[in-house]
Every structure is written in C-alpha cells, then in structure tokens.
Amino acid sequence: MVLTLTGMVVMFPETGWATTLIKLFGGPDDFGYVHRTAAVVFLIAVFGHAGVVLLRLSKDKDFDWFGHDSLLPRKKDWADMKGQFGWFFGKGDAAPRFDRWAYWEKFDYWAVYWGALVIGLSGLILWFSPFFSRFLPGWAFNLATLAHGLEAFLAVMTLFVAHFFNNHFRPSKFPLDTVMFVGSWDLEEFKEDRPEEYERLKASGELEKRLVAPPSKRANTVSYALGFTLLGIGLILLILVTIGFFQRGLV
C-alpha cells in the first residue's frame, strides 16, 4: 500500500491529490526515500519467502510438486477454472470442488513474483541510473520507466479489485475474511469452500489433528478493526488511482 501510494503519485503527478501528498511528505526527495525504502522491504519479503519455501521443500524428499499441497499449476486448475466460468453462465450443474488451493489463489501467488521481477528490475535500473547508463542505451531507461509504471498499475488493479473481491467481497466471504490475522478457518466454511481437501483430511484422520479452538473475542475484534482499516485504505487508493487514470491515462 505504501508503494502504491508513493508510486502512483509519480505516475499521476498532475492530479490534485498527488501534489498534496508530495507536500505532506516534505517534497519529492523525501517522497522518493519512502518509496525506495518500501521497495527494498517488499523485495526482501517476496524473495526471502521464496528462499525459505525452497529450503523447506529441499528437505522434504516426499513432497509431490504437482500434488494437492503444491502451488504449481496442474490440470485440475484448468478444469476448475473452465468449470466455474461455465457454472457462472448456467452451463454446469454445480460449482467445481476445490482442493487446498483454488486456481485464482495460485494465480495470485505467482503474479507477485512476476510483478516483483518486472517492477524490481526496472526500479533498480531507474534508481541506479548513473551506474546502468555506463552500458545501457538511452531507450532502456524509457522502457524501464514504462514497464515500471504499467506493471505497477496492473498490480494495483489486481490487488484492490480481483484480490479484494475473491478474498473479502464475494458472498461466502463478505464483508471480511480474517484468516490472515487469526490463523484459523471456520470448519463449516472450510468444508464448503474446500470439499476435496476436507474429505481427504477426514478420511486420513488428519482433520481431527488440525482442529483448534476458535479465536477469542478480543482476537476477532482486533482482526476486524485492522482488516476493515486496511480494506478502507486499499479502496481509497483504488479511487485515487482511478481518478489519476481518467485524468491522465497510463502513458
């Protein structure tokens, strides 16, 4: 969200909200420090996560890379996507039965790496332009500027529209999914959303081992307060970016 706020100001500098924010941050120089600091934290988080995952999987010799626990795409994801869209338009008897990861969750997961690679690489070229100018042609910096802005805009739309809808605004989740804060899921909701995983865990006896006490009232209160705050900030950012898009466009 910090990257969105500071980055979209640079992309839509003529808008009234952008000029106001730059003044609040103390000018373009301070604004740039905030953006680059947030970028470093973001890249460390993304690629640090990848490193931890690969390290753990390297120690698990029995891990099935295309099994139900894997985030790699498989044939079932394609079948689930076609089945769900067909069901949306009345061409199927029922919605597909999802396993541990739904196809849109895998898309969300891998889209972060693509976005981090494009935005991170182009951002580094722009950040350290004096160094890269020693061996890169001038058009490379124009391309980096274009790629950085367009990929960032795509990431904003994906996060604050598709991701928010899938995780919070669709009927089965509305108005907020607190699982990221409390670390647990309602059993009936899990059974409805992930029927294949539910039945597999129940048949193997693993389900009983994974049952935990429901979150406390205080945990729920804090989760909803924090969740709605972040959702509100995200929607405000979406509105500001939309205003900038209609006033200036993308290029």
pLDDT at 29 over 90: no
Q: Residue 182: which H helix or E strand, with range?
A: helix 179-182
Nearest to 25 by CA among 10, 14, 40: 10
Assessment of whether the complete model's pTM goes beyond 0.75? yes
pLDDT for 213-244, tens place per residue?
A: 999 999 999 999 999 999 999 999 999 888 88
Residues 191-215: what's their mean pLDDT?
93
Residues 16-41: what's their mean pLDDT?
88
pLDDT for 164-189, tens place per residue?
A: 888 899 888 888 999 989 999 899 99
Give the C-alpha separation, 199 to 74, whole Å: 20
Nearest to 149 by CA among 38, 9, 2: 9
pLDDT at 251 over 70: no
Range among 4-8, 16-20, 25-29, 220-224 rated most confident? 220-224
- Diameter of the chain by CA atoms? 62
pLDDT for 47-88, tens place per residue?
A: 999 999 999 999 998 999 999 999 999 999 999 999 999 988
Residues 107-116: what's their mean pLDDT?
91
Phi, psi (deg, nearest 5) at residue 47: -80, -25
